[in-house]
C-alpha cells in the first residue's frame, strides 16, 4: 500500500483523475478561522481509475480495484473490487471471494 505520490496506478487517458487531500471543518466558526486539514490517500497495486474519478481525503483503495468513470470515492474500497457510483446511488461489488 502506497500513498498517492508513488503513482503505481493505471489511469484512463480521457479525463483527469483528481485526488483531494485537503478539507475544512463543517462548523462555520472554525472554518471562518481558516482551519484546514489534510488526510493522506492510500492506493494499492493494480488499481485502474476510469475517466473523471475524484478521490476524497483519507480514502484507502486496496489492491486489484477498478473505479468506474465519473465516480466520487468517499469511502475505503476493499481489495478485488469494482466500484462505481451513478445517479447519487453507490454500488460496490467484490469480484473475488
**Strand runs (DSSP E) across the chain, as ranges?**
2-3, 10-11, 18-19, 22-23, 37-38, 42-43, 47-49, 54-55, 60-61, 65-67, 72-73, 81-86, 89-94
Q: What angle do CA 35, 36, 38 make, to 5 degrees?
A: 155
Catalytic-role residue among 3, 24, 40, 74: 24
Is residue 24 among the annotated active site residues? yes
Residues designated catalytic: 24
Amino acid at each position: 500500500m502506497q500513498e498517492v505520490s508513488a503513482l503505481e496506478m493505471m489511469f484512463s487517458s480521457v479525463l483527469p483523475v483528481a485526488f483531494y487531500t485537503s478539507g475544512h471543518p463543517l462548523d462555520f466558526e472554525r472554518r471562518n478561522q481558516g482551519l484546514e486539514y489534510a488526510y493522506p490517500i492510500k492506493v494499492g497495486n493494480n488499481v485502474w481509475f476510469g475517466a473523471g474519478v475524484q478521490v476524497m481525503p483519507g480514502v484507502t483503495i486496496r489492491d486489484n480495484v477498478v473505479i468506474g468513470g465519473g465516480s466520487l470515492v468517499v469511502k475505503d474500497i476493499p481489495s478485488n473490487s469494482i466500484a462505481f457510483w451513478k445517479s447519487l446511488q453507490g454500488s460496490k461489488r467484490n469480484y473475488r471471494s
